[in-house]
Amino acid sequence: MAVALAVLAASAQAQSRVYREGSSWVEETSGDVAAAKVLRVRTDLGSVSVDGSGSNGVHYTVRKRVNASSEEAARRMFETLRVAALNRADQTIISGDSHGEWHRGSVQIQVVAPRQMELVKVNTDGGDVSVNHVSGRTEIETGGGRVAVDDIGGLAKIESGGGNVHVGTVGNTLELRSGGGNVDVNTAGASTALETGGGNVSVNAIRGDLKVETGGGNISVKTVGGGLRASTGGGNLDLGQVGGQVAAETGGGSIRISSGWGVTAETGAGTIQCYNVKHGLRATTGAGGITAQFIGNKGDFSDSRLEAGMGDIVVYLPSDVGVHVIASIDLANGHGIQSEFPGLKIQREEGFGPGEASAEGIIGGGGPTLKLHTTAGNISLKRISKIVASDEDVMGQE
């Protein structure tokens, strides 16, 4: 890859030294430049790290490493890869451009800057990037390297062509897009949008709304203060405590949701488990069972529909629920409908063939409609008196 770092202007004194390290030659250059409101670091090649500190100025260190037959040959290569820093208007800039050949080498740019900078912006064509301890806004773009950020006070915007991304703590909005790497997020203080072309996504806690999309990986989310939209082309969804509405979709994996105010869940061929649903539920699976548990006051419930192509449907309802139940099984041979609530009229088609089974009735004085349908499986309505958070808790009350 042809790459070099061109000198823009030397506004600060820089010191360099060349030394041998193992089989490589290293040129290490360091310098200082006055800090502005904005820090911009751009390089055609190499990794970049930026760390906020209590300093008043910006200190940078550039390490170039090459494999060369002699120090003279190494120095010729180093000459094609120079770096300098400057101030322009309200910006501190560390930048480079290609104008020569760079073989068998690597570049590392390390920057220490004041924590209170309003914006830190990093661009690299393909290297790793890390930014830590910045109170303002952070913007990162890399053609394919790994990204790690932590202790970011403002908005964080990250774009990677395909590397893994780790996010520690972001105090504001987080926007992240990767062409195909795994994404790991600890906490974000506001609404968050995560997208990866094919990796797994893991999220600990988001204060606002969360939108997650992956082309085929698994999605794991522990806590969301607002609403959650999660979709994957074929992975599993494991979604924890959600304060708002939930929309979950996978092309073929399983879905598990610990809680949500209103839930929509759809999978092409996996099981669906939804617990502590405080409003309505619409769940559809092409080939798997559905387990659902509703909680809340009588007036919280809204129209719900559970549809299983091939699988059992088990519904847990509070003792004082008010609902109108409509249930049906297309191929009822060996399957049936059971209810722990009085008021359901269960019918079964007699005669040869698979037959059909259906049930309809009012529970607790009636209310919104609960429709249950499976092509081939059992349907069960069970009474529950306490909040549960897992299938183990539910089974323990049977």
185-213 pLDDT, tens digit per residue, is 999 998 999 999 989 999 999 999 999 99
Per-residue confidence at 8, pLDDT binned at 50, 70, 90? very low
Number of domains, the chain: 1
Pairing outcome for strands 379-384 and 313-318:
parallel
For residue 295, the Cα-to-chain-centroid distance in whole angstroms is: 28
- How high is the pLDDT of residue 384? 85
| Burial state string for 136-174 with b = 16 or more CB within 10 A and e = fewer than 16 | bbbbbbbbbbbbbbbbbbbbbbbbbbbbbbbbbbbbbbb
pLDDT tens string 15-67: 889 999 998 999 999 999 999 999 999 988 789 999 999 999 999 999 999 88
Q: What does the pLDDT read at residue 43? A: 87
Distance CA 34, CA 387 (A): 58
Per-residue pLDDT at 319: 84
Q: What's the one-letter identity of residue 369?
A: T
Residue with tokens 């790459």: 3
**Domain of 45, in residue numbers:** 1-114
pLDDT at 333: 85
Q: Identify the weakest region by mean pLDDT among 3-7, 110-114, 215-219, 233-237.
A: 3-7
The whole-number average pLDDT for the span 62-82 is 87
Computed over its alpha carbons, how large is the radius of gyration of the chain?
29
Residue 4 lies in a domain: yes
The mean pLDDT of 303-316, rounded to a whole number, is 96
CB contact at 8 A, 30 and 85:
no
Does some domain include residue 361? Answer: no
Residue 123 three-state SS: strand
Residue 332 included in any domain: no
Average pLDDT for the chain: 89
Identify any residues that bridge with 140 across adjacent strands, giving them in sequence order.
Answer: 122, 158
**Higher-confidence position of 88 and 137:** 137
Residue 396's pLDDT is 44
The predicted model gives 279-305 an average pLDDT of: 92
Euclidean distance between the first and final Cα of the chain, in Å? 65
Predicted pLDDT of residue 200: 96
pLDDT at 104 over 70: no
Q: State yes or no: pLDDT of 97 exceeds 80.
A: no
Q: Which amino acid is at 273?
A: Q
Encode pLDDT of 344-383 as tens digits: 999 987 655 678 999 999 998 889 999 999 999 999 999 9
| Distance separating alpha carbons of residues 146 and 178, to the nearest angstrom | 10
Q: Flag whether the pTM goes above 0.85.
A: yes
Tell whether the model's pLDDT for residue 395 goes beyond 50: no
Residue 26 lies in a domain: yes
Contact 340, 311 (CB under 8 A): no
Mean pLDDT, rounded, for 302-311: 95
The H-assigned helical ranges of the chain are 71-79, 391-395
- Asked, for residue 190, whether it belongs to a domain, the answer is no
Q: What is the pLDDT of residue 36?
A: 94
* 178 part of a folded domain: no
Angstrom distance (rounded) from CA 364 to CA 366? 6
In a domain, 84, yes or no: yes
Please report whether residue 203 resides in a domain: no
Decide: residue 183, CB within 10 A, 0-12 exposed, 13-18 middle, 19+ buried: buried
Residue 156 pLDDT > 90, yes or no? Answer: yes
